[in-house]
């Protein structure tokens, strides 16, 4: 049923051609056979007239209004599609700007169609004052979330804080790419290709991390432990060398390696290097640099220690054990 109404209100392609063709055939057939006037008089009789309050309409009037409404919506849909395609070809505009302009034009277009439809049906536009009051109450209760998400979507488009292709991280730790910005939600595709519909309001009221808002760079951090018996200055140089040699590592900001801690079993370094495009991933470069560090350490006899514990036994304890064991 939903698909049927979508086809009638906003027909596309073959469905639009068939609807228009069948409607014209029906009108021409009735007119050619001389039955149109007879049918109109029959459908316009008081017997086939219904009333809603003080408003009366015949079946003929309802059919005429329905066909007129369908025609108006068809024209609005065609104009909307043409504008959307034309804006899509304007490369000077960002994707978010094109989407925002398209939505504003569509809203204005369908609002005009709505007013024309009310006039065609014969509804006094002054009655809209009562309708707007009821709509306000509805927005205050049942439609509050829908209105909030719609307005939040417009704010996101105007601020350009979340756009198509951005890599974002949600408050629950979910990371993914923005694939679509709709009136009610934003579609996020996670790294394992799951699609999540996030209400637009969540981007306004919650803290969301956008990894690519101002630039696509991303930092990779690798902790490295080195044995106390190794040459730690040489180890630091090898760690930096492994990072600089990787193709994903960029020169600015330059890679950095810091000595962070003297641990129980190792001297602890941390490597920071930057990738040019975080949307291409950080785990791959991180893994490859770690492999290269391992190879360089093995080649230069730099040891990566495993946790060690020294057990100290006092001489008196050994004597007591021997005495008990005789």
Residue 208, both tokens: 């969301």
| Interstrand relation of 49-52 and 55-58 (parallel, antiparallel or unpaired) | antiparallel
| Cis amide bond preceding 253, omega within 30 | yes
Q: Which of 15, 18, 13 is nearest to 3 (CA)?
A: 15
> What pLDDT is stored for residue 108 in this prediction?
81
d(CA 106, CA 180): 18
Q: Is the pTM of this model over 0.85?
A: no
Instruction: Let me know: does 278 contact 216? Beta carbons within 8 Å.
Output: yes
Instruction: Let me know: does 304 contact 228? Beta carbons within 8 Å.
Output: no
> What pLDDT is stored for residue 1 in this prediction?
47
> What pLDDT is stored for residue 244 in this prediction?
94
Q: Which CATH number, 3.30.450.40, 2.30.30.60, 3.90.870.30, 3.40.630.30, labels domain 160-210? A: 2.30.30.60
CATH number of 218-299: 3.30.70.100
* Three-state SS sequence of the chain: CHHHHHHHHCCCHHHHHHHHHHHHHHHHHHHHCCCHHHHHHHHCCHHHEEEECCEEEEHHHHHHHHHHHHHHHHHHHHHHHHHHHHHHCCCCCCHHHHHHHHHHHHHHHHHHHHHHHHHHHCCCHHHHHHHHHHHHHHHHCCCHHHHHHHHHHHHHHHHCCCCCCCEEECCCCCEEEEEEECCCEEEEEECCCCEEEEEHHHHHHCCCEECCCCCCCEEEEEEEEECCCCCHHHHHHHHHHHHHCCCCECCCCCCEEEEEEECCCCEEEEEEEEECCHHHCCHHHHHHHHHHHHHHHHHCCCCCCCCCCCCCCCHHHHHHHHHHHC
Can you list the residues of the chain whose pLDDT is less than 50? 1-2, 4-6
Q: For residue range 149-172, list pLDDT tens digits in order.
A: 888 888 887 788 888 889 999 998
Q: For residue range 50-93, list pLDDT tens digits in order.
A: 665 565 666 667 777 777 777 777 777 777 778 777 777 776 66
> What pLDDT is stored for residue 226 in this prediction?
94
Query: Distances in Å between the alpha carbon of 228 and those of 36, 231, 263, 303?
Result: 101, 8, 10, 9
Dihedral, CA atoms, 30, 34, 39, 45, nearest 10 degrees?
A: 150
Where residue 58 falls (left for φ over 0; alpha for ψ -120 to 50; beta otherwise) is beta
Instruction: Let me know: does 77 contact 13? Beta carbons within 8 Å.
Output: no
Phi, psi dihedral angles at 57 (to 5 degrees): -150, 135
> What pLDDT is stored for residue 42 in this prediction?
62
Residue 69, both tokens: 């409404």
Q: Which of 165, 161, 163, 160 is nearest to 207 (CA)?
A: 161
How many degrees, rounded to 5, is the angle at CA 241 between CA 253 and CA 299?
A: 160
Domain limits, the chain:
2-12+40-123, 160-210, 218-299
Residue with tokens 């350009």: 160
């Amino acid at each position: 049923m939903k698909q049927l109404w979508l086809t009638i209100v906003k027909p596309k392609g073959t469905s639009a051609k068939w609807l228009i063709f069948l409607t014209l055939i029906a009108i021409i057939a009735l007119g050619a056979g001389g039955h149109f006037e007879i049918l109109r008089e029959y459908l316009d009789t008081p017997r086939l007239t219904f009333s809603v309050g003080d408003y009366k309409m015949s079946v003929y009037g309802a059919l005429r209004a329905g066909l007129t409404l369908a025609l108006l919506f068809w024209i609005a849909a065609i104009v909307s599609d043409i504008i959307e395609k034309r804006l899509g070809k304007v490369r000077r505009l960002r994707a978010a700007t094109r989407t925002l302009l398209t939505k504003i034009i569509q809203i204005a277009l369908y609002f005009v169609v709505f007013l024309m439809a009310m006039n065609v049906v014969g509804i006094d536009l002054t009655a809209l004052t009562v309708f707007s009051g009821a709509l306000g109450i509805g927005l205050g209760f049942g439609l509050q979330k829908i209105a909030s998400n719609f307005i939040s979507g417009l704010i996101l488009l105007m601020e350009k804080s979340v756009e198509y292709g951005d890599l974002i991280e949600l408050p629950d730790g979910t990371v993914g790419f923005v694939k679509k910005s709709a009136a009610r939600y934003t579609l996020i595709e996670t790294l394992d290709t799951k699609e999540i519909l996030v209400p637009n309001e969540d981007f306004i009221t919650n803290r969301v991390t956008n990894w690519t808002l101002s630039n696509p760079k991303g930092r990779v951090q690798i902790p490295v432990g080195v044995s106390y018996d190794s040459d730690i200055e040489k180890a630091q140089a090898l760690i930096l060398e492994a990072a600089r040699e990787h193709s994903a590592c960029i020169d600015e900001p330059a890679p950095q390696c810091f000595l962070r801690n003297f641990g129980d079993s190792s001297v602890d370094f941390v490597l920071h290097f930057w990738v040019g495009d975080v949307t291409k991933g950080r785990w791959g470069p991180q893994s490859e640099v770690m492999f290269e560090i391992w190879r360089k350490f093995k080649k230069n006899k730099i040891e990566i220690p495993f946790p060690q514990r020294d057990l100290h036994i006092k001489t008196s304890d050994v004597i007591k054990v021997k005495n008990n064991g005789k």
